[in-house]
Amino acid sequence: MDYYPLFAQLQGRACLLVGGGEVASRKGDALLKAGAVLHIVAPEISTTLQEAVSAGQAHWIGPVFDPVQLDEVWLVIAATDNPEVNDEVYQAATARRLFVNVVDDQPRCSFIVPSLVDRGPLQIAMSTGGRAPVLARLIRQKLETLIPQSTGRLLALAGRLRQTIKQQLTDVTERRRFYEQLLEGPVARLVAAGRDQEAEQSTLEALSAHRSQGGEVWLVGAGPGDPELLTLRALQLMQAADVVLYDRLVSAEILELCRRDAERFSVGKVAGHHTVPQPEINDWLIRLARQGKRVLRLKGGDPFIFGRGGEEAQSLVEAQVPFQVVPGITAASGATAYAGIPLTHRDYSQTVQFVTGHGRVDGDPMDWPLLAKSRQTLVIYMGTLKAEAITTALIEHGRDPSTPVAIISRGTRSDQTKVVGTLQGLPELAAQPEVTSPSLIIVGEVVALHQQLDWFGGAGFADEPPAVQSSTESSTVS
């Protein structure tokens, strides 16, 4: 690595800032926040620096740099618009073995100032070694969204109770587990809600009783495949889980974002073959949670849209196991959006229906007269194996054989494909080699817009359906 990462303790220590403009003001403000005694050298200084001097937080020691000004300082920043002055500062500081930073001049920096995420006592610094500061800023912006603003107050709570926890929990493993529950469990949620006193009381009660905060199950939607479509809450829980039970449709890229040391178990299902039966999955969730573990049930798409999340939630309620549900972007909205197919459109479709291509063996038959109505979008999950039966039923109940259809495979992923045709040719489309699992069937006039709105660039097109005449009638989208 090019630079040794280091957090400097500058509280009460003199630091020299050479320069008084806007850039120097930003550097000076950061030094003051770190508790440094700021010495400023510049012919003129900004209003911000003048206010710091007036408040006694900084000292304006002169207009011209002199190496003698380095005698009592620990660290130096040169932020002038004069390269000769900057070089003089660098040479003099280096001769005295002082850390020096010349702003925007990497060769004249013995230290660099990283981009920072600040959450009270928690500080996350990142650097590109001076090569691309903008990239560090962009990464910082992403981290800002991932780390709750309440984190600083939560860490302050942990700091206040650190010695108490250490004295009462002498076993290192037990103490680590308690901290995990403190920082990621109900106490953290109380702090996030601004209920700090309740959080501290809850922590002390749990500590005095030597009891675990208990296990919990998180039913989390992983979305259709693109990791960037994960919700913020999903990612937070993925990083916190002790155990991950994941479906076959969860992409490897998403699974890699889970906590590294979490146990992982595949409980995926393929049509006609359930590696782990659903009742066994339900029992597994309950058993693991009762062991005090935080269990992540990670599902492709959304847990409550053909994900059996409702069944699992019912079993958890009956077992009195606490749980949370985190919605995910379902394949119907994700894959179609990436394929340039709007599910509703005032000129083409006033309703959209989600159905599954295979349901319970003892379930009610599909309402084909309702599904076959025109001017609606029909999204069929897991339907390619029954494409011929679906086609026959829809046409027999009145759907126009020339209705545009599309099959989207591996939606939202880099290798997404779509094949497009008409309803009467759906069985042939489903048999094409481009169609692989997981796939989604879309039936409806909106499919005709797929080329015009194709921003993602899907591949594998079949014969195009005939153009659909758009209606000028305005109607409400449901």
**Residues annotated catalytic, as ranges:** 247, 269
* Cα angle, residue 181 at apex, residues 177 and 182 outer, rounded to 5°: 115
**107 a known binding residue?**
no
* Cα angle, residue 144 at apex, residues 17 and 160 outer, rounded to 5°: 85
**382 a known binding residue?**
yes
Identify which of 285, 333, 341 has the alpha carbon closest to the alpha carbon of residue 313: 285
CA distances from 218 to 154, 261, 289, 322, 327 (A): 22, 17, 10, 9, 11
Q: Where are the alpha helices (DSSP H) in 98-195?
A: 133-146, 151-160, 162-168, 172-184, 186-192
Helix 232-240 to helix 133-146 angle (10° resolution) is: 80
Q: Are 424 and 402 in contact (CB under 8 A)?
A: yes
User: What's 221's DSSP letter?
Assistant: E
Identify which of 169, 160, 159, 180 has the alpha carbon closest to the alpha carbon of residue 207: 169
**43 a known binding residue?**
yes
Q: Which two tokens stand for residue 323?
A: 């749980």
**331 a known binding residue?**
yes
Q: Residues in the chain, how many?
A: 478
- Give the DSSP letter string of 27-79: HHHHHHHTT-EEEEE-SS--HHHHHHHHTTSEEEEESS--GGGGTT-SEEEE-
**305 a known binding residue?**
yes
Q: If residue 285 lies in a helix (H) or strand (E), which one and from where to where?
A: helix 278-290
* Cα angle, residue 440 at apex, residues 436 and 446 outer, rounded to 5°: 130
Beta bridge partners of 355: 380
Is the bond preceding 67 in cis, omega lying within 30 degrees of 0? no
CA distances from 8 to 26, 33, 90 (A): 18, 12, 19
User: What's 109's DSSP letter?
Assistant: B
Beta bridge partners of 269: 274
* Residue where the block lists tokens 């195009």: 464
Q: Are 339 and 418 in contact (CB under 8 A)?
A: yes
**129 a known binding residue?**
no
* Rounded-to-integer distance, Cα 46 and Cα 180, Å: 46
**63 a known binding residue?**
no
**51 a known binding residue?**
no
Identify which of 271, 231, 225, 279 has the alpha carbon closest to the alpha carbon of residue 252: 225
Amino acid at 65: F
**300 a known binding residue?**
yes
Return binding residues for NAD(+).
Answer: 22-23, 43-44
Return binding residues for S-adenosyl-L-methionine.
Answer: 224, 300-302, 305, 330-331, 382, 411
